[in-house]
A and B are shown apart, each in its own frame.
Chain A
Amino acid sequence: EAGVAQSPRYKIIEKRQSVAFWCNPISGHATLYWYQQILGQGPKLLIQFQNNGVVDDSQLPKDRFSAERLKGVDSTLKIQPAKLEDSAVYLCASSSGSGGYNEQFFGPGTRLTVL
Chain B
Amino acid sequence: KQEVTQIPAALSVPEGENLVLNCSFTDSAIYNLQWFRQDPGKGLTSLLLIQSSQREQTSGRLNASLDKSSGRSTLYIAASQPGDSATYLCAVIYGGATNKLIFGTGTLLAVQP
- By beta carbon, the residue of chain B nearest A59 is B100
B106 touches A42 (CB 8 A): yes
Q: What is the CA–CA distance of A105 and B104 in the complex, to the nearest angstrom?
A: 18
Number of B residues with CB within 8 Å of any CB on chain A: 24
- By beta carbon, the residue of chain B nearest A3 is B43
A31 touches B99 (CB 8 A): yes
A positions within 8 Å CB-CB of B: 4, 9, 31, 40-45, 48, 55-56, 91, 93, 95, 98-99, 101-109, 111
A42 touches B105 (CB 8 A): yes
Q: Which residues of A contact B31 (CB under 8 A)?
A: 101
Q: What is the CA–CA distance of A52 and B97 in the complex, to the nearest angstrom?
A: 16
Given contacts A44-B103, A45-B100, contact A101 B43 (CB under 8 A): no
B43 touches A41 (CB 8 A): no
